[in-house]
């Protein structure tokens, strides 16, 4: 995803001289093409994320579209006060990019796990929150937030993620993308677990269960229409995310379902409990450890729709 992001950013910068990149002394090998092509629009502020955000806000309020870039929690939680007061309050055109959403940097421990970030960014006024599901969505999201005025949070994976979309996509902020249709269940995914959602849906089909799969790349503003359509047209809804079940995609969908007056359907949030990972390992190991393996997700969905055995 990060490669798709930087390519899209370079293309946008060719056409829009406002596009600027500010980094916190990392990402070398990824951001170098931008620094070499646009040295006058590239700033490395050093390991100082609070300063990075303040500088970006000032540059944005001078007419630029500024991207900040760092890993996991560093461009969000480490400088949360600056994001809130300098960026969001002033509706500054700052686009915060975090590489390493969820357990991507698993071996580095909980300080590098981004598992509460969506909830925190989503709570900030004026903030758009996007977690693309594959490199195609990442590139499209990069272009889209440049065109959308105001603060945005772009949550990426790292590198080597599977490309889920095999054709051109109609990417619109606040509009989910349907990858499969079904009537027994709607599985709504955000971020890097999209490929898992598609795989699980195929296994469900083998067991006689048709699943609608939605890539809810935008968590704020949420596609409320897609959620309500799922409640009206399918028999159950589940959310899937590599994030805490508190305040992220699951929380956002739950709010919609709780407040609408239409049909009520069984609903479950599949994600992380409100806990820290006290073990270290690669992303797949941590996913399995915290109930996000394909097998575990499949069994939870089978149970949700009233099935007990997997063929």
Using DSSP, state whether 255 is helix, strand or coil.
helix
Per-residue confidence in pLDDT tens, the chain, 311 aa: 999 999 999 999 999 999 999 999 987 889 999 999 999 999 999 999 999 999 999 999 999 999 999 998 999 999 999 999 999 999 999 999 999 999 999 999 999 999 999 999 999 999 999 999 999 999 999 999 999 999 999 999 987 889 999 888 999 999 999 999 999 999 999 999 999 999 999 999 999 999 999 999 999 999 999 999 999 999 999 999 999 999 999 999 999 999 998 878 999 999 999 999 999 899 999 999 999 999 999 999 999 998 544 44
Any idea which residue has 């390519």 for tokens?
7
What is the CB-side half-sphere exposure of residue 23 using CA atoms within 13 A? 19
Where are the extended beta strands (E) located within 75-206? Answer: 94-99, 128-130, 152-156, 177-180, 185-189
| Predicted confidence (pLDDT) per residue in 53-93, tens digit | 999 999 999 999 999 999 989 999 999 999 999 999 999 99
CATH for 2-156 is 3.40.50.970
Quick one: pLDDT at residue 8? Answer: 97
* Nearest CA among 7, 154, 152 for reference residue 87: 152
Quick one: pLDDT at residue 311? Answer: 43
- What is the rounded CA–CA span in Å between residue 84 and residue 50? 11
Quick one: pLDDT at residue 153? Answer: 98
- Cβ-in-10-Å burial (0-12, 13-18, 19+) of 281 comes to middle
What is the domain partition of the chain in residue ranges? 2-156, 177-304
Paired residues of 239 in beta bridges = 188, 269
Quick one: pLDDT at residue 307? Answer: 56
- What is the rounded CA–CA span in Å between residue 129 and residue 152? 6
Where are the extended beta strands (E) located within 127-259? Answer: 128-130, 152-156, 177-180, 185-189, 211-215, 218-220, 237-244
| Predicted confidence (pLDDT) per residue in 166-189, tens digit | 888 999 999 999 999 999 999 999
Within 8 A by CB and 6+ apart from 188, the residues are 176, 214, 216, 226, 227, 230, 237, 238, 239, 240, 249, 253
Same fold, 2-156 and 177-304: yes
* Nearest CA among 219, 203, 212, 216 for reference residue 265: 212
Quick one: pLDDT at residue 60? Answer: 98
Helix-strand-coil split of the chain, %, nearest 5: 40, 20, 40
Quick one: pLDDT at residue 170? Answer: 95
Quick one: pLDDT at residue 28? Answer: 81
- C-beta separation of 68 from 53 below 8 A: yes
Using DSSP, state whether 147 is helix, strand or coil.
helix
Any idea which residue has 């028999």 for tokens?
235
CATH for 177-304 is 3.40.50.920
Using DSSP, state whether 141 is helix, strand or coil.
helix
Quick one: pLDDT at residue 103? Answer: 96
């Amino acid at each position: 995803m990060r490669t798709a992001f930087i390519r899209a950013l370079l293309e946008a910068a060719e056409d829009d001289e406002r596009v600027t990149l500010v980094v916190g002394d990392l990402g070398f090998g990824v951001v170098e093409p931008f620094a070499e092509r646009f040295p006058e629009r590239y700033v490395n502020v050093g390991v100082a994320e609070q300063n990075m955000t303040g500088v970006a806000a000032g540059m944005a309020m001078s007419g630029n579209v500024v991207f900040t870039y760092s890993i996991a929690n560093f461009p969000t939680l480490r400088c949360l006060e600056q994001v809130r007061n300098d960026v969001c309050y002033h509706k500054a055109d700052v686009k915060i990019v975090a590489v390493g959403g969820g357990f991507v940097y698993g071996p580095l421990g909980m300080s590098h796990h981004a598992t509460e970030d969506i909830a925190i960014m989503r709570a900030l006024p004026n903030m758009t929150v996007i977690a693309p599901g594959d490199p195609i969505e990442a590139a499209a999201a990069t272009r889209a937030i440049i065109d959308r005025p105001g603060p945005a949070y772009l949550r990426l994976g790292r590198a080597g993620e599977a490309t889920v979309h095999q054709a051109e996509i109609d990417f619109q902020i606040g509009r989910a993308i349907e990858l499969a249709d079904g009537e027994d269940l709607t599985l709504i995914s955000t971020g890097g677990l999209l490929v898992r959602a598609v795989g699980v849906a195929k296994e469900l089909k083998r067991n006689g269960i048709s699943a609608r799969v939605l890539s809810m790349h935008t968590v704020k503003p949420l596609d409320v229409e897609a959620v309500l359509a799922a409640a009206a047209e399918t028999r159950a809804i589940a959310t899937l995310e590599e994030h805490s079940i508190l305040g992220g995609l699951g929380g956002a969908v739950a709010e919609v379902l709780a407040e609408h007056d239409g049909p009520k359907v069984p609903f479950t949030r599949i994600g992380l409990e409100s806990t820290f990972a006290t073990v270290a390992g690669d992303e797949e190991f941590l996913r399995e450890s915290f109930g996000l393996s394909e097998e575990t997700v499949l069994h939870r969905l089978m149970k949700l729709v009233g099935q007990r055995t997997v063929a």
